[in-house]
Amino acid sequence: MLKTEQETTVFSDEGDDTLGGRLSMARDAAGISLESLASQLGVRQETMIAWESDRSEPQPSVLVKMAAMFGVSPSWLMTGTGDGPGEDSDQRALEAVKIELSRLRSAHQEIGLLIETTTRQIERLDHQIRLRNVSKDVAH
C-alpha cells in the first residue's frame, strides 16, 4: 500500500477501509480498551461494538472527541486520509497486535470451555436416555 506523507497507518488491513475498522485500529493503537472508551464517552459497550462493526456511526462531535483521544485526525477516522496512528510508533502497533492476540486467546479458551461443557451435557443426556430405554426394555 503506497502512502502519501499525510496518510499514515499502523498496519495495512482490509478492515481499516471503513469507519468502524479505523475506529477499532486507532483504539487498539492508542491502547484504549473498548470498555474504557465506552465509559469515557458515556455510551454502552454495545454502541461501541456497533460503531466498530459499521452497524452504526457516532455523532460528529463524538467522532472528533475520539480522534483527539486516539491522536488521529477526524478526517482520518472518517475517510482514511490525514493523520492516522503514527508510523513512528511501531511499539504501539506491536501492542495493538498483542492485544488482539490476547483477545483471540481468551475467546479460544472460552470456546474450549463451552465445547467441554456441551460435550459433558450430551454425554449425560445420552446416558440418561440409554438408561430409560434399558428400563423400558426390561419392563416389557
Residue spans per domain, the chain: 19-79, 87-139
Question: Quick check: 81 and 5 in contact, CB under 8 A?
Answer: no
* pTM attached to this predicted model: 0.52
Report the alpha-carbon distance of residue 85 to residue 62 in Å, rounded. 18
CB-based contact 3:63 (threshold 8 Å)? no
Inform me whether the pLDDT recorded for 86 exceeds 70: no
User: How many residues comprise the chain?
Assistant: 140
| Span 1-52, pLDDT tens digits | 333 333 333 444 444 589 999 999 889 888 889 999 999 999 999 999 999 9
Angle at 82 between CA 13 and CA 68, to 5 degrees: 95
pLDDT of residue 126: 96
The CATH architecture that domain 19-79 belongs to is Orthogonal Bundle (1.10)
Please give the Cα distance from 124 to 62 (Å, whole number). 51
